[in-house]
Structure 1
């Protein structure tokens, strides 16, 4: 078949050596790859901020320390039974599919907020009602001003998305 035939044919000039590259390889694994194309006046790029956080351990450590120093919080409404019900609900709430508790959501939300300057959370429902809360990637959403000029509308982050998300109140 000739697929694995490594012998060169000298008589055929079209059989010259050529270079081969892997199509799915990463461009660079260096954490500062995106700094070379960064322009301060251009809109912020979350890949840059992620690269800086990954490339400079002191920044990652500082952000993590700030989140830890925030500590936890409690809900209190004055009624002991309601306080216990809220504590139970918020300690068992699903977060992002692999975590549990409102503190996990707040920690992830603050990590996004301190790293990228903004953060997104979404309430996820099922047939029975409220199911989980989810920290979405910033690139998965686009925010536009609504027609009334005051409110905001959330659209899928894909280019050319013309329809807003169906349940705006959950974002």
Structure 2
């Protein structure tokens, strides 16, 4: 009996280790065919000061992608059309590994991802926090350097819905 309980506990532990958080485009369906207006806030590399830029965005969700068309109101030459694939059976959003997904009682969603890269020429880990519901959408990018427990916000997009779904 004691061996059976020990085996079951070990099995549950192994299953939990291998369980991974996943997402699908269904998690983002509330954003499909929507128009947004908001602000990009970023920390300038030279001055270290916070800068705000007015933005608008349109979002489309397909079976396997999240399509974001972002316009920078005063800098149209910086506009971006981003198509991001959900990869590896939902374990990645583009190159970002999904580490957390919470669907709250009110239907809002919070997804946290992480990725490796360089910030200001130095190796770093990036943490992205996506939070959205039918009226609000935000993405915050935090940076953490090796040998540091601290993170800092590099940029954040915060949007409010402009129109209802079509």
Q: Compute the TM-score of the two structures, normalised by the length of structure 2.
A: 0.28
The one of the two structures with greater contact order (alpha-carbon pairs below 8 A, sep at least 6) is 2
- Greater helix percent: which structure? 1
Rg bigger for which structure? 1
Q: Compute the TM-score of the two structures, normalised by the length of structure 1.
A: 0.27
